Amino acid sequence: MAGPPSTPEHGLTSRITFRCDLGEARAAARALRDFLVTLGLDETELFNCELCLTEACNNAVQHASPTGVHAPVVAAVSAHGAEIELTVTDHTPGFALATRAGPLSPDHDHGRGLFIIQSLMDEVSYFRGSRENTLVMRLARRAHPLPPPLPASAASDATGRQLAECRQTIGAMARELCFRSESLAAIFRCCSELGRTTDLAGFSQRLLGDLLHLAAADWFVLRLNSADGSRLAVFATSTAKLGGAPLPLAPRDASPGSAELAAAQSGRELEFATRLASPAVEPLCAAGPEATGRVHPLLFDEMLVGTLAVGHSTAGSPFSALQVEMIRTIAEFLAIHVVSARHQDEQLRAQLVAHELEIARRIQRALLPRALPQPPPFSLAASWESARQVGGDFYDALPLGEQSLLLVVADVMGNGVPAAMFATITRSLLRALAGRGHGPANLLRQLNELLYEELSAVGMFVTVQLVLVDLVRRQLVAASAGHCPILVAGGAAAGVQTLCPTGLPLGIMPDSTYCQQTLALADPGTLLLYTDGLTEAQNPAGEMFGQERLAEWLRDNFPLPGADQLRDRLSAEIGRFRDGAALHDDQAFLILAGGSVASAAPAPIPGSPDAAPIPSDAHATALHAGSPALAATD
Amino acid sequence: MKIEHDGNNLRVSDIAELNALNATTFRDEVRAALPLEPGTIEIDLSQTQFVDSSGLGALFSLYRAAHGGHNGVTMRLLNPKPPIQQLFELTQLHQLFEICCR
């Protein structure tokens, strides 16, 4: 089969451009014959070449499309060694170049010209393009080729032959270069576009449009492997009719139904013809009942990126070696580009996620009080450790008048910026409502009423634990919105009591009500509020720390002089238990220790946490090491 | 092109080419010149340098016209050049016409 039309070079080629007219067609064929005479062809070769040129030129004139009649027809002859190549470029709708038919019946008029061409020439190819088509006819000369005529001043015959050979070699190289440079130009054009566009689909469409032109193909289908590698979905096609359903990538041992699947699973290029396939399993049958073509797998480091099918709508015109190489080059290029585009997407997504996390962290840090009040004889300490995914845990301690303190531990269920936002809102609302003399249960009811609509709209909820501490009467009033129990140590029982007042998390029901429990705080006595991240901390074996272990720890460590010591010990205990295992959830806890025994160095009672001067050891007092830097409260 | 009558015989000669440009004229002129009861029709191709598929088509249709209702018509192509004779053989024209080289 002939390759693409060769590019003429001076001296061995003659090219004639003429109007769409039978008289001009005949004159062109005659003139090309005169050129062939100079190459030393014998009478039969001359006649056959002239005849085939005439037939091709007549076809170009007689079958020109309505717009094609205004375009010139180009006929050319070139000699490459022992081969004569005749090309005619037409502007007709194109025709199907059938495999050579048998002898025609004597009075069969139709197709006689093509039959003659196919009979007289050694190789015939027809390259169909969108605007023009080129018929390439090749004839191997029977006689040894004579050197092309040389100027009279030329040297000996031997030199002349050498010169001719050189010209032929250079000519062949020039043709090869020309074709390759055209392919390269297409790729460069696309590369330069890459910097300007992030539109992978449009880019592929244009690149493959160029490929159709370069490889004289009629259609293409580009399929890309899905992210999970389960199917090949159509990504770009030359015509909409070729866009079918995704092809599931079956296990390798299953016999693939379609050419694209076969190429994808074998990782090899293959040729196909739709007449041999069943439309039920072969989507490429949409290209026509006689379509032929090739499927190239798109591979990147042996990873399947997709498949590229390119072909002709009619049988009988397989791709030349150069065209196949062109398709292969484009397929390799596309594979790299698809991978790179996907990689960029992932990087962008990762950047966005990181950016969002950073915002959420900043919000979360702002939630934590700069300093905790230390009303004697009580001491307060808290710890907060963030898991990789930012949640909405926070704690707070609000002095209410001279003798009360409201302790808060809350956990917004959810991640990222939304969770942090709801944590901020919850905290602000609590601070606004807390000073109005309501009990903890009432506070939770109001909070729920205010937050329900927004929380339920985004499917989030908040668990909150409130403990109102009467510092003078040593009385605790606790209420919970679906939060973890409170642990209280001290008193006659010398054990640890668990307080779990019932109540739904905020944002579950619009009219939730809450109950509260009252308990005397022994002297000495310790109170521990925490989020479930603490009891759900896991060791490398996947075992949870658990509430029992926490209660046991509290019992073992009672009484202790100060909250900050307890905080440090608990953090160390949890650290030992985790033994390097990653933190799955935020963990926060708040410890109130107080009593005649426990009272350590007296600290000033601030009017409010905002107004409190930051003690020199604020960091150690308010926050456990490893917590984020202190940030201003609202 | 020259057309000569000799009774029921017809002789066509001096044809430089039979191509897409002149095939229709050739066919029509020869057909118009056909005797009512044609005997022998000779087409002298000794001067003919070129025949293309349109020219072949004209010869085929001439054959049909001459044989329409007539039996015993002899059709002869005289002295075609070798490449043209090969073309006749390729396209099976030699089964319809006697090809004579004198």
pLDDT digits (tens, 9 = 90+) for A437-476: 789 999 999 999 999 888 888 778 899 999 999 998 999 9
Of A312 and A251, more confident = A312
Closest residue, chain B, to A119 (C-alpha): B90
pLDDT tier at A626, thresholds 50, 70, 90:
very low
Residues present in chain A in total:
634
The verdict on a CB contact (< 8 Å) between B91 and A106 is yes
pLDDT of A75 reads: 94
Question: What mean pLDDT comes out for the span A66-90?
Answer: 88
The conformation of residue A75, written as its DSSP 8-state character, comes to E
- Is the CB of residue A451 less than 8 Å from the CB of residue A481? no
Mutual angle of helices A416-434 and A321-367, in 10-degree steps: 10
Query: CA of A105, closest CA in chain B: separation in Å?
Result: 7
Q: How many angstroms from the chain centroid is the CA of residue A290?
A: 36
Quickly count helices (H) and strands (E) in chain B: 3, 7
pLDDT tens-digit series, residues B6-21: 888 999 999 999 999 9
Q: Residue A3's pLDDT is what?
A: 45
Counting Cα atoms < 13 Å in the Cβ hemisphere of A168 gives 17
Distance from CA of B96 to the nearest CA of A (A): 8
Q: What is the CATH number of the domain that holds B32?
A: 3.30.750.24
Out of A54, A103, A115, the one facing B52 most closely (by C-beta) is A54
Show residues of chain B in contact with A113, CB under 8 Å: 52-53
In this structure, of A73-87, A207-221, A411-425, A480-494, the range with the lowest mean pLDDT score is: A411-425
- Answer whether B20 touches A (CB < 8 Å): yes
Looking at residue B13, its pLDDT comes to: 94
Q: Is the pLDDT of residue A6 over 70?
A: no
Name which of A564-578, A614-628, B13-27 the model is least confident about: A614-628
User: Does a structural domain hold residue B7?
Assistant: no
Beta strands in A2-68 (DSSP E): 13-18
Residue A488 makes CB contacts below 8 A (sequence gap 6+) with A476, A496, A497, A498, A499, A519, A521, A525, A526, A527, A528
Comparing A109 with A425, which gets the higher pLDDT? A425
What is the predicted pLDDT for the residue at A177?
59
- Which of the two residues, A142 and A410, has the higher pLDDT score? A410
Domain assignment present for residue B37? The answer is yes
Instruction: Answer yes or no: do B20 and A58 touch at CB < 8 A.
Output: yes
Cα separation, B38 vs A568, whole angstroms = 128
More confident residue, A176 or A434: A434
In a domain, B39, yes or no: yes
Cα first-last separation, chain A: 81
Of chain A, the percentage scoring pLDDT greater than 70 comes to: 79
Residue A143 near residue A84 (C-beta atoms within 8 A): no
The per-residue pLDDT for A389 is: 59
A482, A512 contact by CB (below 8 A): no
pLDDT at A36 over 70: yes
Q: Which stretch of A476-485, A611-620, B50-59 has the lowest confidence by average pLDDT?
A: A611-620
Q: Which of A55, A62, A106 sits opposite B95 (nearest CB)?
A: A106
Question: Looking at the partner chain, which of B19, B53, B83 has a beta carbon nearest the beta carbon of A44?
Answer: B83
- DSSP for A530-551 reads E-HHHHT-B-TTS-B--HHHHH
- Cβ of A44 within 8 Å of Cβ of B63? The answer is no
Number of folded domains in chain B?
1
Q: CA A146 to CA A85: how far, in whole Å?
A: 16
Res A445: pLDDT: 94
Whether residue A388 contacts residue A358, with contact meaning beta carbons closer than 8 Å, is answered with no
The chain A residue lying nearest B85, using CA atoms, is A44
Alpha-carbon gap, residue A419 to A466, rounded angstroms? 19
Q: Is B15 helix (H, G, I), strand (E, B) or coil?
A: coil
Question: Could you give the CA distance from residue A279 to residue A21 in angstroms, rounded to a whole number?
Answer: 43
Residue B8 lies in a domain: no
pLDDT at A196 over 60: no
pTM, two decimal places: 0.41
The β-bridge relationship of strands A475-481 and A461-470 is antiparallel
Choose the most confident range, by mean pLDDT, from A167-171, A212-216, A490-494, A531-535. Answer: A531-535
Q: Is the pLDDT of residue A617 over 70?
A: no
| Mean pLDDT across chain A | 79
Q: Which of A185-194, A516-525, B85-94 has the lowest mean pLDDT?
A: A185-194
Residue A269 clears pLDDT 70, i.e. is over it: yes
Give the residue numbers spanning the domain of B28: 14-100
Arithmetic mean of pLDDT, A186-201 = 63
Which of A46, A54, A104 is the best residue to mutate to test the B interface, defined by the most B CB atoms within 10 Å of its own CB? A54
Chain A positions in Cβ-Cβ contact with residue B81 (cut-off 8 Å) = 43, 47
Question: Above 60 in pLDDT, residue A151?
Answer: no
The pLDDT-based confidence of A60 (bands split at 50, 70, 90) is very high
Q: Is the pLDDT of residue A491 over 50?
A: yes
Helix (H, G, I), strand (E, B), or coil: what is residue A172?
Answer: helix
Is the pLDDT confidence value at A197 over 70? no
- B70 within a domain of the structure (yes/no): yes
**CB-CB neighbours of A531 under 10 Å:** 26
Question: What residues 486-545 of chain A have any CB closer than 8 A to a CB of chain B?
Answer: none
Can you give the pLDDT at residue A188? Answer: 61
Taking CB atoms and an 8 Å cutoff, what residues of chain B touch A62?
20
Using 50, 70 and 90 to split pLDDT, how confident is the model at A619?
very low
In eight-state DSSP terms, residue A506 is B
A 87-116 → B contacts, CB under 8 A: 103-107, 109, 112-113, 115-116
Using a CB-CB cut-off of 8 Å, the residues of chain B touching A26 are 19-21
Q: Are A632 and A363 in contact (CB under 8 A)?
A: no
Place A110 in a pLDDT band, splitting at 50, 70 and 90: low
The pLDDT value recorded for residue A616 is 34
Confidence of residue A150 (pLDDT cuts 50, 70, 90): very low
Please report where in the chains the tokens 């009512």 appear, as a residue.
Answer: B36
Going by pLDDT thresholds of 50, 70 and 90, the confidence category of residue A599 is very low
Please determine, for residue A310, whether its predicted confidence score (pLDDT) is greater than 90. Answer: yes
The mean pLDDT value for A75-103 works out to 80
Residue A185 banded pLDDT, cuts 50, 70, 90: low
Q: Tell whether the model's pLDDT for residue A214 goes beyond 70.
A: yes
Note the pLDDT of residue A212. Answer: 87
Confidence of residue A106 (pLDDT cuts 50, 70, 90): low
> Hey, what are A202's tokens?
């449009």
Give the Cα separation of A246 and A239 in Å (integer): 16
Residues of A in contact with B62 (CB under 8 A): none
> β-pairing, A219-225 with B2-6?
unpaired
- Inter-chain touch B86–A106, beta carbons under 8 Å: no
Q: What pLDDT shows up at residue A132? A: 81
Does B76 reside within a domain? yes
Output the pLDDT for position A409: 93
Hey, CA dihedral for A408, A508, A498, A414, is it positive or negative?
A: negative
Highest mean pLDDT among A220-234, A329-343, A403-417: A220-234
**A169 at interface of B, judged by CB pairs closer than 8 A:** no
Residue A541's pLDDT is what?
87
Neighbours of A488 (CB within 10 A): 24
Question: From CA A222, how far away is CA A129, in angstroms rounded?
Answer: 19
Give mean pLDDT, residues A211-237.
Answer: 89
pLDDT at A1: 43
What are the structural domains of chain A? Answer: 13-146 (3.30.565.10), 200-344 (3.30.450.40), 368-622 (3.60.40.10)
The pLDDT value given to residue A230: 87
- Residue A608's pLDDT is 39
Q: Report the distance separating Cα A207 and Cα A17, nearest Å.
A: 30
**Which has more confidence, A256 or A277?**
A277
Domain-located, residue B71: yes
The per-residue pLDDT for A375 is 87
Which residue does chain B place closest to A104, by CA atoms? B91
Distance from CA of A119 to the nearest CA of B (A): 8
Q: Which of B54, B95, B97 to mutate to test the interface with A (most CBs of A within 10 A)?
A: B54
Q: Which residue has the tokens 């953090």?
A: A571
For A52, nearest residue in chain B (alpha carbons)? B52
Residue A406 has pLDDT above 50, yes or no: yes
Assign A570 a pLDDT band (cuts: 50, 70, 90): very high
Note whether residue B66 is domain-resident: yes
A112, B19: Cβ pair inside 8 Å? no
- pLDDT category of residue A65 using cuts at 50, 70 and 90: confident
